Protein backbone atom coordinates (compact mmCIF):
# COMPACT_ATOMS: atom_id res chain seq x y z
CA UNK A 1 0.00 0.00 0.00
CA UNK A 2 1.44 3.34 -0.90
CA UNK A 3 2.12 5.86 1.77
CA UNK A 4 -0.44 8.62 1.97
CA UNK A 5 1.37 11.87 2.28
CA UNK A 6 -0.55 14.71 3.79
CA UNK A 7 0.07 17.82 1.83
CA UNK A 8 1.58 20.36 4.14
CA UNK A 9 2.63 23.00 1.69
CA UNK A 10 -0.34 25.31 2.05
CA UNK A 11 -0.63 25.49 5.78
CA UNK A 12 2.86 26.23 6.89
CA UNK A 13 3.54 22.67 7.91
CA UNK A 14 0.50 22.00 10.09
CA UNK A 15 -2.01 19.69 8.49
CA UNK A 16 -5.56 20.83 9.12
CA UNK A 17 -8.23 18.48 10.35
CA UNK A 18 -9.65 18.66 6.86
CA UNK A 19 -6.42 17.35 5.37
CA UNK A 20 -6.26 14.56 7.91
CA UNK A 21 -9.86 13.54 7.26
CA UNK A 22 -9.14 13.43 3.54
CA UNK A 23 -6.00 11.36 4.04
CA UNK A 24 -7.98 8.95 6.20
CA UNK A 25 -10.71 8.75 3.57
CA UNK A 26 -8.15 7.94 0.87
CA UNK A 27 -6.59 5.31 3.08
CA UNK A 28 -10.01 3.79 3.75
CA UNK A 29 -10.76 3.73 0.05
CA UNK A 30 -7.48 2.03 -0.73
CA UNK A 31 -8.09 -0.56 1.94
CA UNK A 32 -11.58 -1.19 0.64
CA UNK A 33 -10.18 -1.47 -2.88
CA UNK A 34 -7.61 -3.98 -1.63
CA UNK A 35 -10.34 -6.15 -0.14
CA UNK A 36 -12.45 -5.81 -3.25
CA UNK A 37 -9.55 -7.25 -5.18
CA UNK A 38 -8.85 -9.99 -2.67
CA UNK A 39 -12.41 -11.10 -2.01
CA UNK A 40 -13.01 -13.11 -5.20
CA UNK A 41 -10.03 -15.36 -4.55
CA UNK A 42 -10.98 -16.19 -0.97
CA UNK A 43 -13.59 -18.92 -1.50
CA UNK A 44 -11.23 -20.94 -3.70
CA UNK A 45 -8.33 -20.31 -1.35
CA UNK A 46 -10.19 -21.33 1.78
CA UNK A 47 -11.62 -24.42 0.12
CA UNK A 48 -8.19 -25.52 -1.04
CA UNK A 49 -6.63 -24.98 2.37
CA UNK A 50 -9.44 -26.87 4.10
CA UNK A 51 -9.36 -29.90 1.86
CA UNK A 52 -5.63 -30.19 1.15
CA UNK A 53 -3.55 -28.40 3.78
CA UNK A 54 -5.41 -29.27 6.98
CA UNK A 55 -5.40 -33.05 6.30
CA UNK A 56 -1.71 -32.79 5.60
CA UNK A 57 -1.13 -31.44 9.09
CA UNK A 58 -3.08 -34.42 10.43
CA UNK A 59 -0.81 -36.77 8.50
CA UNK A 60 2.19 -35.04 9.96
CA UNK A 61 0.75 -35.58 13.42
CA UNK A 62 -0.14 -39.25 12.80
CA UNK A 63 3.39 -39.91 11.62
CA UNK A 64 4.65 -39.13 15.11
CA UNK A 65 2.37 -41.72 16.73
CA UNK A 66 2.22 -45.49 16.91
CA UNK A 67 -1.41 -45.44 15.86
CA UNK A 68 -3.00 -48.64 14.57
CA UNK A 69 -6.60 -48.18 13.69
CA UNK A 70 -7.56 -51.78 14.44
CA UNK A 71 -6.72 -51.52 18.13
CA UNK A 72 -8.70 -49.63 20.72
CA UNK A 73 -5.74 -48.37 22.69
CA UNK A 74 -5.24 -44.61 22.37
CA UNK A 75 -2.55 -43.53 19.98
CA UNK A 76 0.71 -42.77 21.62
CA UNK A 77 3.13 -40.06 20.73
CA UNK A 78 6.41 -41.73 19.85
CA UNK A 79 8.37 -38.88 18.25
CA UNK A 80 10.43 -39.73 15.23
CA UNK A 81 10.54 -43.45 15.90
CA UNK A 82 8.57 -44.22 12.74
CA UNK A 83 11.09 -42.31 10.69
CA UNK A 84 14.02 -43.93 12.45
CA UNK A 85 12.68 -47.37 11.56
CA UNK A 86 12.43 -46.53 7.85
CA UNK A 87 16.03 -47.28 7.00
CA UNK A 88 15.69 -50.81 8.34
CA UNK A 89 12.35 -51.41 6.64
CA UNK A 90 13.07 -53.56 3.63
CA UNK A 91 9.59 -53.26 2.13
CA UNK A 92 9.73 -49.50 2.37
CA UNK A 93 13.16 -49.39 0.76
CA UNK A 94 11.97 -51.63 -2.06
CA UNK A 95 8.91 -49.50 -2.66
CA UNK A 96 10.98 -46.31 -2.59
CA UNK A 97 13.46 -47.76 -5.08
CA UNK A 98 10.61 -48.85 -7.36
CA UNK A 99 9.15 -45.33 -7.12
CA UNK A 100 12.43 -43.77 -8.17
CA UNK A 101 12.95 -46.14 -11.09
CA UNK A 102 9.38 -45.89 -12.27
CA UNK A 103 9.21 -42.10 -12.13
CA UNK A 104 12.59 -41.48 -13.72
CA UNK A 105 12.09 -43.99 -16.52
CA UNK A 106 8.54 -42.95 -17.29
CA UNK A 107 9.33 -39.22 -17.31
CA UNK A 108 12.50 -39.50 -19.37
CA UNK A 109 11.12 -41.94 -21.90
CA UNK A 110 7.88 -40.05 -22.44
CA UNK A 111 9.82 -36.81 -22.76
CA UNK A 112 12.08 -38.33 -25.41
CA UNK A 113 9.26 -40.02 -27.31
CA UNK A 114 7.05 -36.94 -26.94
CA UNK A 115 9.73 -34.60 -28.28
CA UNK A 116 10.32 -36.93 -31.22
CA UNK A 117 6.63 -36.98 -32.01
CA UNK A 118 6.38 -33.21 -31.71
CA UNK A 119 9.24 -32.71 -34.15
CA UNK A 120 7.59 -35.09 -36.62
CA UNK A 121 4.25 -33.32 -36.25
CA UNK A 122 5.72 -29.84 -36.61
CA UNK A 123 5.81 -30.03 -40.38
CA UNK A 124 3.05 -29.93 -42.89
CA UNK A 125 1.97 -33.28 -44.26
CA UNK A 126 -1.20 -34.92 -45.45
CA UNK A 127 -3.50 -35.76 -42.53
CA UNK A 128 -1.52 -33.78 -39.95
CA UNK A 129 -4.56 -32.92 -37.83
CA UNK A 130 -5.88 -36.47 -37.97
CA UNK A 131 -2.59 -38.01 -36.84
CA UNK A 132 -2.27 -35.45 -34.08
CA UNK A 133 -5.72 -36.41 -32.83
CA UNK A 134 -4.76 -40.10 -32.86
CA UNK A 135 -1.55 -39.35 -30.99
CA UNK A 136 -3.32 -37.33 -28.30
CA UNK A 137 -5.88 -40.01 -27.56
CA UNK A 138 -3.84 -42.22 -25.17
CA UNK A 139 -3.60 -39.29 -22.76
CA UNK A 140 -7.39 -39.07 -22.61
CA UNK A 141 -7.92 -42.75 -21.85
CA UNK A 142 -8.93 -43.66 -18.32
CA UNK A 143 -5.82 -45.07 -16.58
CA UNK A 144 -7.76 -48.12 -15.39
CA UNK A 145 -8.78 -48.90 -18.96
CA UNK A 146 -5.27 -48.26 -20.25
CA UNK A 147 -3.91 -50.72 -17.72
CA UNK A 148 -6.50 -53.40 -18.43
CA UNK A 149 -6.18 -53.00 -22.13
CA UNK A 150 -2.42 -53.43 -22.18
CA UNK A 151 -2.44 -56.22 -19.66
CA UNK A 152 -5.03 -58.34 -21.44
CA UNK A 153 -4.88 -57.66 -25.12
CA UNK A 154 -1.23 -56.63 -25.49
CA UNK A 155 0.83 -58.38 -22.81
CA UNK A 156 -1.20 -61.60 -22.42
CA UNK A 157 0.71 -64.65 -23.63
CA UNK A 158 -2.19 -66.46 -25.32
CA UNK A 159 -4.31 -63.77 -26.92
CA UNK A 160 -2.08 -60.68 -26.57
CA UNK A 161 -0.74 -58.90 -29.61
CA UNK A 162 2.86 -58.78 -28.41
CA UNK A 163 2.94 -62.57 -27.91
CA UNK A 164 1.33 -63.05 -31.30
CA UNK A 165 3.97 -60.91 -33.00
CA UNK A 166 6.75 -62.72 -31.14
CA UNK A 167 5.33 -66.08 -32.20
CA UNK A 168 5.20 -64.85 -35.74
CA UNK A 169 8.87 -63.92 -35.49
CA UNK A 170 9.70 -67.38 -34.18
CA UNK A 171 10.11 -66.58 -30.47
CA UNK A 172 8.20 -68.06 -27.57
CA UNK A 173 5.55 -65.77 -26.15
CA UNK A 174 5.85 -64.94 -22.49
CA UNK A 175 3.56 -63.54 -19.79
CA UNK A 176 5.06 -60.09 -20.07
CA UNK A 177 3.30 -58.48 -17.10
CA UNK A 178 4.28 -61.27 -14.70
CA UNK A 179 7.83 -61.57 -15.86
CA UNK A 180 8.63 -57.87 -16.17
CA UNK A 181 6.11 -56.08 -13.92
CA UNK A 182 8.02 -52.80 -13.66
CA UNK A 183 8.73 -52.60 -17.38
CA UNK A 184 5.08 -53.37 -18.13
CA UNK A 185 3.85 -50.50 -16.00
CA UNK A 186 6.45 -48.14 -17.47
CA UNK A 187 5.44 -49.07 -21.03
CA UNK A 188 1.82 -48.15 -20.33
CA UNK A 189 2.83 -44.95 -18.54
CA UNK A 190 5.02 -43.90 -21.47
CA UNK A 191 2.19 -44.70 -23.88
CA UNK A 192 -0.13 -42.41 -21.93
CA UNK A 193 2.29 -39.59 -21.14
CA UNK A 194 4.23 -39.23 -24.43
CA UNK A 195 1.22 -37.50 -26.00
CA UNK A 196 1.15 -35.03 -23.15
CA UNK A 197 4.85 -34.24 -23.55
CA UNK A 198 4.35 -34.05 -27.30
CA UNK A 199 1.67 -31.39 -26.94
CA UNK A 200 3.74 -29.26 -24.60
CA UNK A 201 6.78 -29.44 -26.86
CA UNK A 202 4.61 -28.77 -29.89
CA UNK A 203 3.24 -25.65 -28.24
CA UNK A 204 6.85 -24.58 -27.75
CA UNK A 205 7.85 -25.34 -31.33
CA UNK A 206 4.91 -23.46 -32.82
CA UNK A 207 5.25 -20.52 -30.47
CA UNK A 208 8.80 -19.82 -31.58
CA UNK A 209 9.77 -16.37 -32.67
CA UNK A 210 9.64 -16.87 -36.44
CA UNK A 211 11.76 -13.83 -37.24
CA UNK A 212 14.68 -15.28 -35.27
CA UNK A 213 14.43 -18.52 -37.25
CA UNK A 214 14.34 -16.57 -40.49
CA UNK A 215 17.31 -14.48 -39.42
CA UNK A 216 19.25 -17.69 -38.71
CA UNK A 217 18.37 -18.96 -42.16
CA UNK A 218 19.52 -15.72 -43.76
CA UNK A 219 22.74 -16.04 -41.80
CA UNK A 220 23.21 -19.42 -43.47
CA UNK A 221 22.63 -21.76 -40.53
CA UNK A 222 21.81 -25.36 -41.41
CA UNK A 223 18.50 -26.88 -40.29
CA UNK A 224 20.22 -28.93 -37.63
CA UNK A 225 22.29 -25.94 -36.51
CA UNK A 226 19.17 -23.81 -36.23
CA UNK A 227 17.48 -26.51 -34.19
CA UNK A 228 20.37 -26.97 -31.81
CA UNK A 229 21.32 -23.34 -31.33
CA UNK A 230 17.99 -21.55 -31.56
CA UNK A 231 15.04 -23.91 -31.26
CA UNK A 232 16.39 -26.00 -28.39
CA UNK A 233 17.15 -23.04 -26.10
CA UNK A 234 13.70 -21.61 -26.84
CA UNK A 235 12.22 -25.03 -26.12
CA UNK A 236 13.95 -25.42 -22.79
CA UNK A 237 11.22 -23.92 -20.62
CA UNK A 238 8.67 -26.20 -22.27
CA UNK A 239 10.82 -29.29 -21.70
CA UNK A 240 11.21 -28.24 -18.09
CA UNK A 241 7.50 -27.68 -17.71
CA UNK A 242 6.78 -31.12 -19.19
CA UNK A 243 9.31 -32.77 -16.89
CA UNK A 244 7.88 -31.02 -13.87
CA UNK A 245 4.22 -31.80 -14.55
CA UNK A 246 5.08 -35.34 -15.61
CA UNK A 247 7.12 -35.99 -12.48
CA UNK A 248 4.43 -34.60 -10.20
CA UNK A 249 1.80 -36.92 -11.66
CA UNK A 250 3.96 -39.97 -12.27
CA UNK A 251 5.45 -40.06 -8.78
CA UNK A 252 1.97 -40.86 -7.49
CA UNK A 253 0.90 -43.46 -10.00
CA UNK A 254 -1.53 -45.92 -8.48
CA UNK A 255 -4.19 -46.97 -10.99
CA UNK A 256 -1.87 -48.66 -13.47
CA UNK A 257 -0.15 -50.68 -10.76
CA UNK A 258 -3.40 -51.81 -9.21
CA UNK A 259 -4.74 -52.99 -12.54
CA UNK A 260 -1.66 -54.40 -14.25
CA UNK A 261 0.28 -56.10 -11.47
CA UNK A 262 -2.02 -55.86 -8.44
CA UNK A 263 -0.28 -56.78 -5.21
CA UNK A 264 2.61 -58.44 -6.99
CA UNK A 265 6.00 -57.34 -5.69
CA UNK A 266 8.41 -55.89 -8.22
CA UNK A 267 6.22 -52.97 -9.26
CA UNK A 268 4.82 -51.71 -6.00
CA UNK A 269 5.69 -48.04 -5.59
CA UNK A 270 5.36 -45.97 -2.43
CA UNK A 271 1.83 -44.64 -2.90
CA UNK A 272 0.61 -48.17 -3.58
CA UNK A 273 2.48 -49.58 -0.60
CA UNK A 274 1.23 -46.80 1.69
CA UNK A 275 -2.39 -47.36 0.73
CA UNK A 276 -1.93 -51.07 1.30
CA UNK A 277 -0.42 -50.62 4.73
CA UNK A 278 -3.06 -48.16 5.95
CA UNK A 279 -6.62 -47.95 4.67
CA UNK A 280 -6.07 -50.89 2.37
CA UNK A 281 -6.16 -53.21 5.37
CA UNK A 282 -2.66 -52.82 6.84
CA UNK A 283 -4.03 -50.42 9.43
CA UNK A 284 -0.66 -49.10 10.63
CA UNK A 285 -1.66 -45.47 10.21
CA UNK A 286 1.22 -44.06 12.19
CA UNK A 287 3.91 -45.80 10.19
CA UNK A 288 2.15 -45.31 6.85
CA UNK A 289 1.87 -41.61 7.62
CA UNK A 290 5.62 -41.46 8.03
CA UNK A 291 5.96 -43.07 4.59
CA UNK A 292 3.61 -40.42 3.19
CA UNK A 293 5.66 -37.63 4.66
CA UNK A 294 8.73 -39.02 2.92
CA UNK A 295 6.89 -38.97 -0.40
CA UNK A 296 5.75 -35.44 0.27
CA UNK A 297 9.30 -34.32 1.04
CA UNK A 298 10.54 -35.91 -2.18
CA UNK A 299 7.79 -34.10 -4.08
CA UNK A 300 8.59 -30.83 -2.38
CA UNK A 301 12.17 -31.11 -3.58
CA UNK A 302 10.99 -31.67 -7.14
CA UNK A 303 8.38 -28.94 -6.78
CA UNK A 304 10.88 -26.45 -5.46
CA UNK A 305 13.08 -26.91 -8.47
CA UNK A 306 10.01 -26.79 -10.65
CA UNK A 307 8.52 -23.71 -9.06
CA UNK A 308 11.73 -21.83 -9.59
CA UNK A 309 11.49 -22.67 -13.27
CA UNK A 310 7.84 -21.57 -13.44
CA UNK A 311 8.60 -18.42 -11.54
CA UNK A 312 11.27 -17.50 -14.07
CA UNK A 313 8.75 -18.05 -16.83
CA UNK A 314 6.25 -15.71 -15.20
CA UNK A 315 8.87 -13.05 -14.59
CA UNK A 316 10.03 -13.14 -18.18
CA UNK A 317 6.59 -12.63 -19.58
CA UNK A 318 4.84 -10.09 -17.43
Nearest distance, CB of residue 215 and other proteins, angstroms: 10
C-alpha dist (Å) from residue 138 to 58, 112, 142, 150, 199 = 36, 16, 9, 12, 12
Of 101, 255, 266, 282, the one binding other proteins (CB under 8 A) is 255
Of 65, 103, 157, 278, the one binding other proteins (CB under 8 A) is 278
281 binds other proteins (CB under 8 A): no
User: How many whole angstroms from its chain centre is CA 92?
Assistant: 22
User: How many whole angstroms from its chain centre is CA 303?
Assistant: 8
Nearest distance, CB of residue 72 and other proteins, angstroms: 15
Task: State the helix-helix crossing angle for 232-250 and 181-206, rounded to 10 degrees.
Answer: 140
Sign of dihedral through CA atoms 112, 116, 122, 126? negative
Residue 65: beta bridge partners?
77
207 binds other proteins (CB under 8 A): yes
Please work out the total of residues on this chain that contact other proteins, with binding judged by CB under 8 A: 131
Of 20, 33, 71, 179, the one binding other proteins (CB under 8 A) is 33
Considering only residues 47 to 66 of the shown chain, the ones binding other proteins according to CB under 8 A are 47-48, 51-56, 58-59, 62
218 binds other proteins (CB under 8 A): no
- Ramachandran class of 4: left when φ > 0, alpha when ψ lies in -120 to 50, beta otherwise: beta
14 binds other proteins (CB under 8 A): no
Give the chain's length.
318
Of 38, 71, 93, 179, the one binding other proteins (CB under 8 A) is 38
Nearest distance, CB of residue 168 and other proteins, angstroms: 10
Considering only residues 141 to 180 of the shown chain, the ones binding other proteins according to CB under 8 A are 141-145, 148-150, 152-154, 156, 158-161, 164
Sign of dihedral through CA atoms 76, 61, 54, 278? negative
Name the one range near other proteins by CB under 8 A: 74-82, 89-97, 177-185, 204-212: 204-212
112 binds other proteins (CB under 8 A): no
Task: Give the residue with the Cβ less far from other proteins, 45 or 108.
Answer: 45
Name the one range near other proteins by CB under 8 A: 73-81, 89-97, 175-183, 207-215: 207-215
246 binds other proteins (CB under 8 A): no
Q: Please answer whether residues 314 and 238 qualify as being in contact, where contact means their C-beta atoms are separated by less than 8 angstroms.
A: no
Considering only residues 258 to 277 of the shown chain, the ones binding other proteins according to CB under 8 A are 258-259, 270-271, 274-275
Beta-carbon contacts of residue 167 (< 8 Å; ≥ 6 apart): 173
77 binds other proteins (CB under 8 A): no
CA dihedral 128, 134, 136, 138 (to 10 degrees): -160
Whole-number Å distance between alpha carbons of 24 and 35? 17
40 binds other proteins (CB under 8 A): yes
Coil/strand/helix, residue 158: coil
120 binds other proteins (CB under 8 A): yes
Amino acid sequence: MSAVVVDQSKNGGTPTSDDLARAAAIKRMERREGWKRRLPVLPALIYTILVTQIPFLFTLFYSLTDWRIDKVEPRQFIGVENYASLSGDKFFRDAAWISVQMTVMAVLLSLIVGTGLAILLDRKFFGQGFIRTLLITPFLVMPVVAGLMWKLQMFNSTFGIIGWVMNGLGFDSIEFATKYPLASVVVVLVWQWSPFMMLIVLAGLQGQDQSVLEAARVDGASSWGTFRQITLPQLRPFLELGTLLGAIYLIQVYDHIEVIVGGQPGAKNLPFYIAQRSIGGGNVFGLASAYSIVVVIASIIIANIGLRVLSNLLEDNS
